[in-house]
Amino acid sequence: MPKIIFLYFIGFIFSINIGFTQTVKKESHEVSVDTTKIVIKEEQEIIDEIIETKTLPQKDKIQYFSKLTRYGFKNLFPTYSYNALMPYSTQVTPQAESYMQDYLRMHEKQLSVMKSWCMPYFNLIDNIFTQYGLPKELKYLAVIESNLKTNATSWVGAGGPWQFMPYTARENGLVVNDFVDERRDYFKSTHAAARYLLSLYKQTHDWLLVIAAYNGGPGRVFSAIERSGSRNFWALQYNLPEESRNHVKKFIATHYIMETGGGSSGFGSSGFSMNTSGAAVVNPYLNKPTLSSNEMENAETETITGKYNSVIIAKNISIDIIAFNRYNPLFDNQIATNGKYELILPQDKMRQFLSTKYQILNECVQFLLGDVEIPNSTMQYKSKKVKKVKS
């Protein structure tokens, strides 16, 4: 009898423990759900403020907000962000590697060449996106949209590096008319892109779904969510239009090539390789301008020091950034690494630079700190004369 009573007592205690554990799990789940709702509400309030006012949020809000938005990459990076010092394959979700292989085979060479001239654009985009609390990985969206070109125009009328349609551009604060097209202004259009990306993120809370929505519109993404019953891109991808699905594939592959070199060994066309510590090293043989003998005769050289930025220099002396990079390859990387650079420019452009170099340097520093207003570099267009038809 004592043995039976003891067993009954043990069973009673065990049942109480199970009930208590289930209660704790239920309460813990409820707390987790409530916490998620609070976080989403806080995200949405910050996004609404940015979109409605079309101004930069306060820095203390952005520091907090940037920690929230990184969770939007949970379905690409299980640890929520990419670490350049770790092998790529150990960081991305397994579906991503096989998903992008065919795109890599077709476009790896083209993207690797782009690495030799893209850094000024990426630095500019990184600086602006940071002010909005956006993950820097999103800059690669401009690569698959336009190859970073301001003059890119699609057959449906989307224009500029971020390929805005006119009505979407206007909704996000850009001027688009017969005289001015701010979609082609790198500074202003990148601010507009940041606001638009945030508006899409508010609806999806997942950056892979944002990229799909950027291509095909949020309506198609919500239809895919409804049909699949999931908000995970890998689960709903085949409910999306093929073009939108491939847009995500392009983004992942572009991120891989730009961050890792696409698996190529030795010095690539980007001018970078990796040393034994994993740090980027510049190929010294690529740090030479590719100029004709006539261009070299009409060029001047000046050693400069300071936190200069190639895009801002080019804007202030009215020289195309591609031409600037041809005279001064790897400018941003070299001046950031060494603190100085042998600047080469045509004689007239060098005179312009020397006469305003301190103002240019000040603008570069302010831009680096994120305190500078959007520079006035609006693209001007001639008005179109419309012929009147006689009645």
Q: Is the pLDDT of residue 255 over 60?
A: yes
- The tokens 């239009």 sit on which residue? 241
Nearest to 114 by CA among 86, 140, 153, 150: 140
Instruction: Tell me what percent of the residues of the chain surpass a pLDDT of 70.
Output: 71
pLDDT computed for residue 98 by the predictor? 67
Report the mean per-residue pLDDT for the chain: 76
Q: What is the DSSP letter of 145?
A: H
Helices (H), the chain: 2-53, 59-69, 94-99, 101-114, 119-131, 141-146, 166-171, 186-204, 207-216, 218-228, 233-236, 242-260, 293-297, 310-316, 321-327, 331-338, 347-369
Q: Is the pLDDT of residue 177 over 60?
A: yes
Structure tokens that stand for 258 in this block: 């730009």
pLDDT computed for residue 337 by the predictor? 76
Parse the chain into domains and list their residue ranges: 59-260, 288-369
Cα–Cα distance for residue pair 98/320, rounded to 1 Å: 39
The arithmetic mean of pLDDT across residues 305-310, rounded, is 87
pLDDT computed for residue 190 by the predictor? 94
Question: What pLDDT digit, counting tens, does each position of 95-129 carry?
Answer: 776 666 777 777 777 887 888 788 888 988 998 99
Cα–Cα distance for residue pair 147/138, rounded to 1 Å: 14
Question: What pLDDT digit, counting tens, does each position of 29-48 carry?
Answer: 443 444 456 556 767 777 77
Q: Is the pLDDT of residue 346 over 60?
A: yes
Instruction: Tell me what percent of the residues of the chain surpass a pLDDT of 90.
Output: 31
Cα–Cα distance for residue pair 344/287, rounded to 1 Å: 12
Is 59-260 CATH 1.10.530.10?
yes
Q: Is the pLDDT of residue 22 over 60?
A: no
Q: Is the pLDDT of residue 66 over 80?
A: no
Q: Is the pLDDT of residue 379 over 90?
A: no
Is pTM beyond 0.95? Reply is: no
- pLDDT-based confidence at 262, cuts 50/70/90? low
